[in-house]
Amino acid sequence: MYNQKKNMNSQLEIYYWQKLAGIITESQYYEKKRLLEVSIEQLKTQFVDTDKVPQEVFDAILDAVNSDSAYATWLTSRVAKNLIKAEDVSNFGEYIQIFDKNKRSFDKADINQYKTANDIADFKNQAIKVREKDIEITGTPSDDTSGSKPSGLVTKNEVAKLENVGIKFMGIVDGYQVFKVPQSLRGNEEAYKTYATILGRCAGRDQGAKIELCTVASRGYFDQYLGTDDLYVFFNMSDPDSPYQFHYAENQFMDRKDDSIA
């Protein structure tokens, strides 16, 4: 509830400054305030009070969309229908921000037209394409300057750092380095930070490319996935979709955009 009020206040603050700047009138400000309070409360009644969406997920949705009631409605309903995973709410908050500023770059200018699983996959991919439209993903060498290893692989020093925290280097398969993140590292902050820093890289990241995998973005999801099984990472930044993550218990084999490849 605290997060809900905080997010609502954030949106109200935007309206307040719009009023001060003369963008909206005082009466428009109070009308927007009233509609925001009513719509968010209605949304909570429809989805949280009926146990379709947990309160903590609803708070995360409001935070992700800055309490914009229209976008909150779209995202909440898709989460309730299991079209968007709760763990991906933060990512979709970013996609919505991209959509809001670049609607002409999307196939559909009305977000409510993205209804099905295929629609949402298209929405996500279009948002990522807009975000990374100026990036040439070619794969760059890491900090090993000896010239003795292929471009895009983790260096010997980095492998040592990973192994020092318990992440095991399993070898190279078809040009990809394979790493095992064992369940025993659940709750290990140093292991998570090392994992995210070294294996949470992709080609073009310094120019805006990002890893969408929730285990890289969130310590909580890192621990959650390790609670049920080991994680395996296939790494080679020469591949624009690397790193790949395999999790047997969840039957997930995902690329760096968090798209399933299996």
Spell out the domain ranges in the chain. Answer: 2-131, 156-254
Residue 19 has pLDDT above 60, yes or no: no
Question: CB–CB of 238/151 below 8 Å?
Answer: yes
Compute the mean pLDDT over every residue in the chain, rounded to the nearest whole number. Answer: 81
Position with higher pLDDT, 47 vs 206:
47
Residue 258 has pLDDT above 70, yes or no: yes
Does the global pTM surpass 0.85? no
Residue 149 has pLDDT above 60, yes or no: no
- 3 state DSSP class of 255: coil
Residue 185 has pLDDT above 50, yes or no: yes
Residue 157 has pLDDT above 80, yes or no: yes
Q: Which residues contact 237 (CB under 8 A, 6 or more apart)?
A: 139, 140, 142, 151, 152, 153, 201, 202, 203
- DSSP annotation of 260 reads B
- What is the pLDDT, as a whole number, of residue 130? 84
Tell me the residue length of the chain: 262
Q: Of 114-118, 138-142, 218-222, which gets the smallest average pLDDT? A: 138-142
